[in-house]
Chains A and B, each alone.
Chain A
Amino acid sequence: MEGPLYRQIRREIRQRIATGEYQPGAFIPSLNEMADQFNVNRLTVMKALEPLIGEGVLKPVVGRGFVVVGARVARELETLDGFSRTMSELRAEPAVKVLTKGVRAAGPWYAGLFDIDPSDDLYFIKRLCLSAGHPFSLEEILFPTYLMPDPAPLQLSVFSLYDLYAFHGINLVSAWQTLKQTKLSASDARLLGVDEETSVLLFECESKDDRGRTVESTSTYTRGDVASFVTRFRA
């Protein structure tokens, strides 16, 4: 990277916004912190920020600093630990409301997916994820009961299943995730606060553990108007 320092800093800030490091609706670090980070003085940082304020990318809030303009949570698409960790790191005040929790027979489809008998049981959890008090996504999570014979920990209002799996010695190592556009049933649309004709994003994710077993199947319906997804690619 070449050119004057303030320009390099401006480019860097743009990139941090583009990659979700600085989230829409959140404050960027203070002028002092930025000055330390880039090893320059505050005036240079301010000179870097000015055009971004002019473009409407950043908005000054008196006495508090600069906020990234935008309403969409930029979520990283690359790691397994999903919603909870991403959201809490991003200070988007996440919350989860469990709508249904129980056991059910696997049936023909999930029996094949989890390599179990159709009459074997699965845990089924349906929950609504909220960001700053607003519906963000609707999740349906299924996993075989043999993985966690004692359902007691599930009775708690557990936030991160990922942590719960780790606690039970199940090490999720990879997942294949597909993302498509779909529409919801009337009742699910109501839960998510959209109408039936609105397109939503559907993530379908099958997770495998370190023993090669498919251990979880998740469908996540996310409102398209509140989220964007950031990712890095490589040849």
Chain B
Amino acid sequence: MERLRITPMREARERIRAYMRSNALGPGERLPSERVLSEDWGLSRGTVRSAIRAGEHDGLLERRPGSGTYVARPTVERNLQDLRPLADVAEATGYQVVTEILRLTVIEANLERADQLDVRLGEELYSLLRRRVFDGVPAVVEYSLIPVAVAPGLSKEDLEKQSLYSLLEERYGNRIAEGYESLSLLPCPQEAAELLSIEEGQDVFVQNGVALSPERSPIESFESVSLGQYVSFVSDLRAR
């Protein structure tokens, strides 16, 4: 089988990762200068610079002009298979999280929502809009629809004190046990773009799904819009 030549760019990218691993560099720690790295590795400075840029795109590194290259803060890794609250995961990653309740209104279910939530056409739903701010930067916008009958009397004040899922479980006895969702990379819709302070149409992660009770009756339909700069996704795959 053909022996491949490892391109200098590929070598530089792998060396950077190996360097970070063997020196156990954590978020905010600085890498040696481009000059030092290029001399140590026998690669051109241009190559090292391109590899650092690629590391920036991958969310691994962060360049601070005039100062150097640092290990980037990790993204908040949402496990697609569990229901760990986003705020908990973000806090565990080292972010300070503020959840803002931007809107809580009552709307009537259209046919699509009624089917999703297994309610009658026109039944009342809470329409909830929350924004998650990580270290002062808006990172996630979440839209939820919940039948009023599932959580009668739900209020903004309650949601400011407690997470939605724990409120649903503890106050209303409606525990969320499972669900399904789809995840796509989509151009950001206008309202979410404004709330995230980004350009409309910039690519963002969009999750769409339904959360179910242990008896598999729908409790919430949701749409989450996340910035890829702050949020990534993980899953544990198993052989079938």
Contacts and interface: CB of A to CB of B under 8 A. Distances in A.
B111 A74 contact: no
Contacts of B17: 109
Contact of B203 (A14, A151, A174, A181): A181
Interface in B1-39: 1-4, 6, 9, 11, 14-15, 17-18, 21-22
B237 A177 contact: yes
Interface in B22-68: 22, 54, 57-59
A229 B183 contact: yes
B180 A10 contact: no
A7 B115 contact: yes
Contacts of B236: 174-177
A32 interface: no
Judged by DSSP, the binding face of B is: mixed
A124 to B, nearest CB: 6
A23 B209 CA distance: 16
B235 A78 contact: yes
Contacts of B6: 104-105, 107
B239 A173 contact: yes
Given A178-B233, A180-B75, A180-B232, A11 B115 contact: yes
A102 B179 contact: no
A230 interface: yes
Contacts of B15: 107-109
B82 A233 contact: yes
Given A55-B111, A224-B184, A233 B178 contact: yes
A81 interface: yes
B115 to A, nearest CB: 5
A179 B233 contact: yes
Interface stretch (A58-66, A127-135, A199-207): A199-207
Contacts of A178: 77, 232-234
Interface in A13-72: 14-15, 18-20, 51, 55, 72
B164 to A, nearest CB: 14
Interface string B161-191: 0000000000000011111111111100000
Contacts of A215: none
Contact of A101 (B1, B116, B176): B1
Given A201-B185, A231-B81, A234-B178, A102 B234 contact: no
B160 interface: no
Contacts of A175: 236-237
B95 interface: no
A19 B3 contact: no
A228 interface: yes
Contact of A174 (B18, B57, B239): B239
Contacts of B185: 181, 199-201, 224-225
A103 interface: yes
Contacts of A151: 1
A178 to B, nearest CB: 5
Interface string A172-215: 11111111111101000000000000111110010100000000
B115 A10 contact: yes
Interface in B103-117: 111-112, 115-116
B206 to A, nearest CB: 9
26 contacts: A11-B116, A18-B210, A51-B111, A55-B111, A77-B235, A77-B237, A80-B238, A102-B3, A103-B3, A103-B4, A108-B22, A173-B238, A173-B239, A174-B238, A176-B234, A179-B233, A180-B59, A180-B228, A224-B186, A228-B183, A230-B180, A233-B178, A233-B180, A234-B81, A234-B178, A235-B83
Given A182-B58, A199-B185, 13 more contacts: A2-B118, A18-B208, A77-B237, A103-B2, A104-B4, A108-B15, A109-B14, A176-B236, A179-B234, A181-B229, A198-B203, A233-B80, A235-B177
Q: What 6 A-B pairs have minimum CB-CB distances, sorted nearest first? A: A181-B228, A224-B185, A108-B18, A102-B2, A102-B4, A199-B203
